[in-house]
Amino acid sequence: MRFCVCVFGREMMINCTERGPQVGVSKLICYNSLGDISIYGQESNYTTWRLAKMNLAIRGIDAQIAHGDTFHKDQHPDLKADYVLANPPFNVSDWRGELLRDDKHWHYGTPPASNANFAWVQHFIHHFAPTGLAGFVLANGSMSSTQSGEGEIRKNIIEADLVDCIVALPGQLFYTTQIPVCLWFIARTKANCRFRDRRGETLFIDARQMGTLVDRVHRELTDEDISTIAGTYHAWRGDEAAGVYEDMPGFCKAATLDDIRKHSHILTPGRYVGAAEVEDDGEPFEDKMVRLTAQLREQTAQSEKLDQLIWANLEDIGYGK
């Protein structure tokens, strides 16, 4: 069985041939089965292009990587991918979009020249094979923006039933920007033999509370965090041995197209997953209110004593009046 995989770092593509239907792409790359992988790529930044070629070469992976702008001179115009993995640059405004107003990639609406987010999304979709799947990172604004027609493009993509899953991630994950981001998972068709029929459904995962601070400004997702997110998505879409999916308030929710329409086609997970359930501590409400009221009265009295002490000290140094 043949699978084509496009991987975009900024604009990187990987074409992968897979021999067995049960071998995942990540496993295949880890196994380094060079006979099963053929790589094609394109990168506009010369330094990144050279690093990509070196990265592949030191792993003994043969590759054909082109140097050039994917939007304006796509070196793989006929490539159709079974998988697309991408981390495109966020909110790019200098992509010369005004020169591509009638481009063939814009099936769901012309993206604004001021922001390339939905140009990337539609570029990925354009390169889908009939059962193509994509996973990519975008800025959070892509889930809710209505500026310059972006809301209409997102609506059209949603109504085409392409959005499989949206994951809101915590901030501070990147070393080059503090901007919070999200993961989009898109499927050309949600009714195929590999997974269950997911037509008319989208999974929302709110992972903003996950991750661990490794220093004052940087956060990392632990292996357990990643496993929880991935396992939830896999269980929802019906992967074998992934377990049974259940909605979890505050974390994940399987929503219908009608649910998304009620939210004006905004894809922010927090709108769908709701609040996490608070564990009942067993204390009756009346007893709790008596206790908390007494505690508040005591703390208020302590606050008044501290205020008096502060003013007395200020008077001692001539500033109390």
Enumerate the H helices of the chain as residue ranges.
Answer: 25-31, 46-57, 117-126, 150-159, 223-237, 257-262, 270-273, 285-316
Structure tokens at 134: 């994509």
Provide the pLDDT for residue 62.
Answer: 76
Residue bearing tokens 């990172």: 137
**88 DSSP β-pair partners:** none
Q: Cβ distance 102 to 141 under 8 Å?
A: no
Q: Cβ distance 162 to 189 under 8 Å?
A: no
At 46-90, the pLDDT tens digits run 998 898 888 888 878 777 788 889 899 988 888 888 888 888 888
Q: Is 30 left (phi over 0), alpha (psi -120 to 50) or beta?
A: alpha
At 297-317, the pLDDT tens digits run 999 999 999 999 998 888 888
Provide the pLDDT for residue 22.
Answer: 28
Q: Cβ distance 65 to 52 under 8 Å?
A: yes
Provide the pLDDT for residue 10.
Answer: 46
Domain segments of the chain: what residues?
80-273, 281-321
Q: What does pTM read for this prediction? A: 0.79
Structure tokens at 78: 């006929």
Cα 191 versus chain centre, distance: 22
Q: Which of 37, 133, 44, 25 is nearest to 80 (CA)?
A: 133
Q: Cβ distance 73 to 11 under 8 Å?
A: no
Amino acid at position 117, single letter: N
Angle at which helix 117-126 crosses helix 150-159, to 10 degrees, equals: 30
CATH H-level, domain 80-273: superfamily: Vaccinia Virus protein VP39 (3.40.50.150)
At 18-46, the pLDDT tens digits run 333 222 333 334 434 556 666 777 888 89
Residue bearing tokens 């505050």: 250
Structure tokens at 54: 């070196």
